[in-house]
Amino acid sequence: MTEWLVDFFGNPYVIMVLLTFAPFLELRASIPYGIWKFGPEQWPIVFVVAVVTNILLAPIIYILLDKFLHVLLRIRVVDKFWNGVILRTQKKIHPKVERYGVWGLGVFIGVPLPGSGVYSGAFGGYVLGFSFRKFMIAAVMGVLIAAAVVTVVMLTGATTFEFFIKKT
């Protein structure tokens, strides 16, 4: 009965998807794992699996965040904070958001550092008042940027810093 579970969770593609769904890891972890597991010659497959999974994650997070915040806003203290701080801040920074908008959020999502990615991008986009459509455009851009950077680093990284290694 449990053999299928072992087979399912032992499947490297499932592990890649689970790593991509993990907050703060996302494709920054699944691409290195996939390239390590399948080998550098399989990078296109690894790239596609990680990118598609991360892009599919974006609307799920944004919609769940919207539903969760609407429930939280029923609490008077949270609603007062939201209306007093968040909405006032949105009005204040609106010109900067309009100026950098989708590109700014896309670059934030795409920077392959801890703390950036679809999860934090969805929260930031929601708090800054991005529409779902604009967030999705930024998320796709950001995911593609991050995937390209991580893949290039994984494929060239081992030899790039070779001059630091002392040969004996």
pLDDT in tens, 144-156: 999 999 999 999 8
Tokens 């459509």 label which residue? 133
Decide: 126 and 65 in contact? Cβ < 8 Å.
yes
DSSP H stretches of helix in the chain: 3-10, 12-21, 27-38, 43-72, 76-81, 87-110, 118-127, 132-160
Residues of the domain holding 129: 3-164
C-beta of residue 55 within 8 angstroms of C-beta of residue 140: yes
Q: 28-63 burial string, b = 16+ CB within 10 Å, else e?
A: bbbbbbbbeebeeeebeebbebbbebbbebbeebbe
User: What is the model's pLDDT at position 2?
Assistant: 57
Give the per-residue pLDDT at 42.
Answer: 92
- pLDDT band for position 78 (cuts 50, 70, 90): confident
Under 8 Å between Cβ of 26 and 57: yes
HSE-up of residue 101 (Cα within 13 Å, Cβ side): 11
The conformation of residue 166, written as its DSSP 8-state character, comes to P
Q: Is residue 68's pLDDT more than 80? A: yes
State the pLDDT confidence band at 45, using cuts at 50, 70 and 90.
Answer: very high
Cα–Cα distance for residue pair 132/143, rounded to 1 Å: 16
- pLDDT, position 113: 76
- What is the average pLDDT value for the chain, to the nearest integer? 84
Q: Assess contact for 27 and 109: CB atoms under 8 A.
A: no
- The pTM assigned to this predicted structure is 0.80
In this prediction, residue 96 has a pLDDT band, given cuts at 50, 70 and 90, of low
Query: Could you read off the pLDDT of 120-133 as tens digits, one per residue?
Result: 889 888 888 889 99
Lowest mean pLDDT, pick from 1-5, 9-13, 42-46, 143-147: 1-5
What is the number of structural domains in the chain?
Answer: 1
